[in-house]
Amino acid sequence: MTERVVLAYSGGLDTSVAIPYLAEQTGAEVIAVAVDVGQGGEDLDVIRQRAVDCGAVEAEVVDARDEFAAGYCLPAIRANALYMDRYPLVSALSRPLIVKHLVAAARAHGGTIVSHGCTGKGNDQVRFEVGLGALAPDLKIVAPARDFAWTRDKAIAFAEEKGLPIDVSARSPYSIDQNLWGRAVETGFLEDIWNGPLEELYSYTGDPAEPRDADEVVITFDAGVPVAIDGETVTPYQAILELNRRAGEQGVGRLDMVEDRLVGIKSREVYEAPGAITLITAHQELEAVTVERDLARFKRSVDQRWAELVYDGLWFSPLKDSLDAFIDDAQRHVSGEVRLSLHGGRATVTGRRSEASLYDFGLATYDTGDTFDQSLAKGFVQLWGLPSRMAAARDARLGGA
């Protein structure tokens, strides 16, 4: 029986060429699977037909936009997930979802091999293969760009030789990955980290320096889930889509950073994530109002570790499962409204309110109505500083030893 390869298919040059190339190299039939995670671009039927025209025996296109928003972006909001305190995991969040559908396709079509288009220098090879190892360790993995030293020049020559129905004449100077959660741009002149990004490389965001009126938005959360925008009920997908539009128009969510890749190299990346940055900003502020101090302090360390696990391709791991359980419990009281001003490339919180608020006006005010008993403070300060005073006295007694 002929083996079958399930290919993670984007519809672009590299994965289109991979269809006949994999068939030649492995002798297997190729099943192309494209997963729509809100990346936009071409019609899904066009992508499906292109895969067939390039030699796939089967081609699937999965509309996973709502699934991506609810099952992957939403947990990132509740975890305030920002790798290196800045990057909202644009590409990293989509990979485990794609892996899940690749495994499902392999089971449905009798596939024994899974293939992806990642190189050996990036993070995505790890995210795909570690995820596959967790969900389907019996499947073999082939990565043409890495395993067969497959370059873009070879891909173009192969496409021309085979007469494949794809345009190989135009080449973007950038490598771009995008989805509902944001857009990532790298390579080309950006590899010189002294070069500033040009306005032409942005797509999700307007120029933040362009004069325009501010846009005020109120986001309602229920247990850490965005459920309404300006009083209108929304799903997670609708919330992200709407804030991509509104915050994007104001230039919110642009990032230019040098990040630490899992493989050990530093990489310069330019990101656009208007909806992600706006939602995380609002969620962080509501947590500041509703989450008790020690729980909030500990959750910040959990959030950081959660982001690192997802970035490192460990979505399907015991530690992440346990962190998810902790975060879910910590979100019980994260309900209320946050008002933000979207303007000049920033999402600035201007108001917050919640029935579960721990903010007490009587305790916080310095004016009439103050209910804080300041007479208790002197003794508290003395006891709080007692260990430090004792240590200092010991060090003085021993001559600073």
Distance CA 57, CA 68 (A): 27
4 known member of a binding site: no
123 known member of a binding site: yes
Catalytic: 138? no
10 known member of a binding site: yes
From the list 14, 254, 267, 303, the catalytic residue is: 14
Are 347 and 281 in contact by the 8 Å Cβ rule? The answer is: yes
Catalytic: 261? no
133 known member of a binding site: no
179 known member of a binding site: no
271 known member of a binding site: yes
335 known member of a binding site: no
Q: What does DSSP say about strands 140-142 and 113-115: parallel, antiparallel, or unpaired?
A: parallel
12 known member of a binding site: yes
From the list 50, 65, 78, 95, the catalytic residue is: 95
* 93 Cβ contact list (under 8 Å, min separation 6): 68, 72, 73, 76, 179, 181, 310
Are 207 and 199 in contact by the 8 Å Cβ rule? The answer is: yes
β-bridge partners, 60: 33
368 known member of a binding site: no
From the list 65, 124, 183, 268, the catalytic residue is: 124
322 known member of a binding site: no
Catalytic: 175? yes
Q: What does DSSP say about strands 336-343 and 182-186: parallel, antiparallel, or unpaired?
A: unpaired
Are 29 and 4 in contact by the 8 Å Cβ rule? The answer is: yes
From the list 66, 175, 177, 324, the catalytic residue is: 175
80 known member of a binding site: no
Sign of CA dihedral 60, 61, 63, 64: positive
Tokens of 85: 């305190």
Catalytic residue annotation: 14, 95, 124, 175
Binding residues for L-aspartate: 119, 123-124
Binding residues for L-citrulline: 87, 123, 127, 175, 259, 271
Binding residues: 8-16, 87, 117, 119, 123-124, 127, 175, 259, 271
Binding residues for ATP: 8-16, 117
